[in-house]
C-alpha cells in the first residue's frame, strides 16, 4: 500500500502538515531527528514514527515508503541527502521550500532519477506556478515572465533561515532559457490590488519552475516585504512562527506579468489565505494526488503536474485578471 512519510514533522509548518494529513485520512508516518519530539507528536496523532538524520544512510530509513514530504529546513541542509536517498530507495520526493538552490539541485538530479522530484508544494510555488501558467495562456508566444510576491505579517524562524539561503544564493534571472547571475537587477513596481508598490529582485525557486512549466525563456522574480515580515538580529530567538490570529490577519498575494512576442502584456493577481495556512493544505493535497498515482519521473512542478487549477483548489484562493 502507498505510504507517506513526513520528515521534519515537529517543526512549525511540519506539525501543521502532519495534522492536515491526519485530517485528510492519509496513511502516513512522521519522522525527524529528535526522537523525543517525534515520538510525542506520533502519540498525539496516533501514527507510527521514524527517527533518523538526513545523511548518506537515509535510504535505509525509507523502507515501505512511497512518498517523502520534506518539511525540514533550511532545505539546503536536508534536500540533497533526502533526494539522493529517495532516488536510491525508489521513493518520490516532495518538499515545501522556495530556496533556489534546491530547485537547481532537483533539475540536475532529476535527469536520471527514476523517481519524481517535486519541490515547492506549498506557498509560494504552488500559487505562483499555477498563476504563471494562467497568465501565459493570455498572450501569443510568451517571451518574458515577471513574478512578484507580497509578504506581510511576521515570518517563521524556519522561513527566516530559508530567506537567508535565498539571499546568499545571489541575484539570478532566466535569460534565453538559461539561469544566469543578475547582480545589477533593479527594483520594480507591481500592483497587488491596492496600488503600485516597490518590489526588490530576489531569486526564488520559480526561476526554475516557471521555465519548466511555461517554457518562457526570460523570467525575473521580485518581492515586496511589508511591516515586520523580515526579521533582523539573532534568528534563533524568533518564535516558531505566527499565531493563528496573525495568520488570519494577513492574506497572501502574488502577481505575474507575461509579455508576448508582439509586446502584448497580460497581468493577473492571485490572492490566497496566509502562506503558512496555505502550505499544509496544498502540500497534503499534492501528496495525496501523488500517492494516488499522479506522478512523472524527473523534476516536476505543481502547475505542470496537477494543472493550472491546482492553486485554486485550495479554499480561499482566487485569481483576478488585470
> 3-state DSSP call for residue 33?
coil
122's CB contacts (< 8 A; 6+ apart) are: 13, 96, 275, 278, 279, 280, 282, 283
C-alpha closest to that of 205 among 298, 296, 129: 129
SS3 68: strand
202 touches 222 (CB < 8 A): yes
If 0-12 CB within 10 Å is exposed, 13-18 middle and 19+ buried, where does residue 143 land? middle
Spatial distance between the Cα atoms of 2 and 67, rounded to a whole number of angstroms: 8
> What's the pLDDT tens digit per position in 245-304?
999 999 999 999 999 999 999 999 999 999 999 999 999 999 999 999 999 999 999 999
Give me the pLDDT at residue 228, please. 60
> What's the whole-number mean pLDDT along residues 14-23?
98
Predicted confidence band of residue 152 (pLDDT cuts 50, 70, 90): confident
Q: DSSP readout, 120-146?
A: --STTHHHHHHHHHHHHTTSSSEEEEE
What pLDDT is attached to residue 163?
A: 75
Cis peptide bond N-terminal to 138, omega within 30: no
Burial degree of 250 (CB within 10 A; 0-12, 13-18, 19+): buried
Phi–psi pair at 174, nearest 5 degrees: -100, 120
Q: Would you say 9 and 34 are in contact if contact means Cβ atoms under 8 Å apart?
A: no
Residue-averaged pLDDT of the chain: 93
What's the pLDDT band for 153 if we cut at 50, 70, 90? confident
Q: Give percent of the chain above pLDDT 90.
A: 84
* Burial category of 159 from C-beta neighbours within 10 Å (exposed 0-12, middle 13-18, buried 19 and up): buried
Residue 229, pLDDT > 60, answer no
Quote the pTM value. 0.95
What confidence category does residue 48 fall into, taking pLDDT thresholds of 50, 70 and 90? very high
Predicted confidence at residue 242, as pLDDT, reads 87
Distances (CA, A) of 142 to 9, 33, 177: 40, 45, 13
Domains of the chain: 4-119+279-305 (3.40.50.720), 125-275+311-321 (3.30.360)
Strand 49-51: give its sheet, edge to edge. Answer: 49-51, 28-32, 4-7, 67-70, 92-95, 116-118, 298-299
Set of cell numbers at residue 9: 514533522
Please, are residues 140 and 159 in contact by the beta-carbon 8 Å criterion?
no
Instruction: Please enumerate in sequence order all residues whose Cβ is within 8 A of that of 23, keeping only pairs 6 or more positions apart, or say none.
Output: none
* Rounded Cα–Cα distance for residues 318 and 49 (Å): 36
Can you tell me whether residue 193 is helix, strand or coil?
Answer: coil
Torsion over CA: 136, 317, 310, 113 (sign): positive
Amino acid at each position: 500500500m502507498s505510504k507517506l512519510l513526513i520528515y521534519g514533522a515537529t517543526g512549525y509548518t511540519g506539525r501543521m502538515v502532519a495534522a492536515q494529513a491526519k485530517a485528510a485520512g492519509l496513511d502516513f508516518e512522521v519522522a525527524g531527528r529528535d526522537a523525543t519530539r517525534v515520538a510525542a507528536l506520533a502519540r498525539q496523532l496516533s501514527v507510527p514514527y521514524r527517527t533518523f538524520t538526513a545523511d548518506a544512510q537515509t535510504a535505509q530509513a525509507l523502507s515501505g515508503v512511497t512518498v517523502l514530504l520534506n518539511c525540514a529546513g533550511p532545505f539546503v541542509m536536508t534536500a540533497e541527502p533526502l533526494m539522493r536517498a529517495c532516488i536510491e530507495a525508489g521513493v518520490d520526493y516532495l518538499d515545501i521550500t522556495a530556496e533556489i538552490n534546491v530547485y537547481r539541485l532537483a533539475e540536475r538530479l532529476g535527469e536520471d532519477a527514476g523517481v519524481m522530484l517535486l519541490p515547492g508544494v506549498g506557498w509560494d510555488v504552488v500559487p505562483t506556478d499555477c498563476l504563471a501558467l494562467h497568465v501565459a495562456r493570455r498572450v501569443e508566444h510568451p517571451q518574458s515572465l515577471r513574478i512578484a510576491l507580497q509578504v506581510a505579517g511576521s515570518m517563521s524562524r524556519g522561513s527566516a533561515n530559508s530567506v537567508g539561503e535565498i539571499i546568499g544564493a545571489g541575484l539570478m534571472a532566466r535569460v534565453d532559457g538559461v539561469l544566469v547571475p543578475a547582480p545589477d537587477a533593479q527594483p520594480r513596481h507591481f500592483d497587488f490590488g491596492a496600488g503600485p508598490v516597490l518590489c526588490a529582485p530576489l531569486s526564488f525557486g520559480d526561476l526554475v519552475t516557471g521555465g519548466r512549466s511555461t517554457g518562457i525563456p526570460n523570467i525575473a522574480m521580485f518581492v515586496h516585504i511589508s511591516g515586520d515580515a523580515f526579521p533582523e538580529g539573532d534568528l534563533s530567538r524568533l518564535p516558531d512562527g505566527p499565531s493563528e490570529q496573525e495568520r488570519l490577519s494577513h492574506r497572501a498575494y502574488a502577481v505575474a506579468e507575461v509579455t508576448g512576442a508582439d509586446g502584448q502584456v497580460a497581468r493577473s493577481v492571485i490572492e490566497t489565505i496566509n502562506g503558512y495556512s496555505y502550505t499544509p493544505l496544498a502540500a497534503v493535497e499534492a501528496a495525496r494526488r501523488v500517492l494516488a498515482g499522479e506522478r512523472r519521473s524527473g523534476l516536476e512542478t505543481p502547475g505542470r503536474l496537477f494543472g493550472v487549477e491546482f492553486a485554486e483548489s485550495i479554499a480561499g484562493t482566487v485569481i483576478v485578471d488585470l
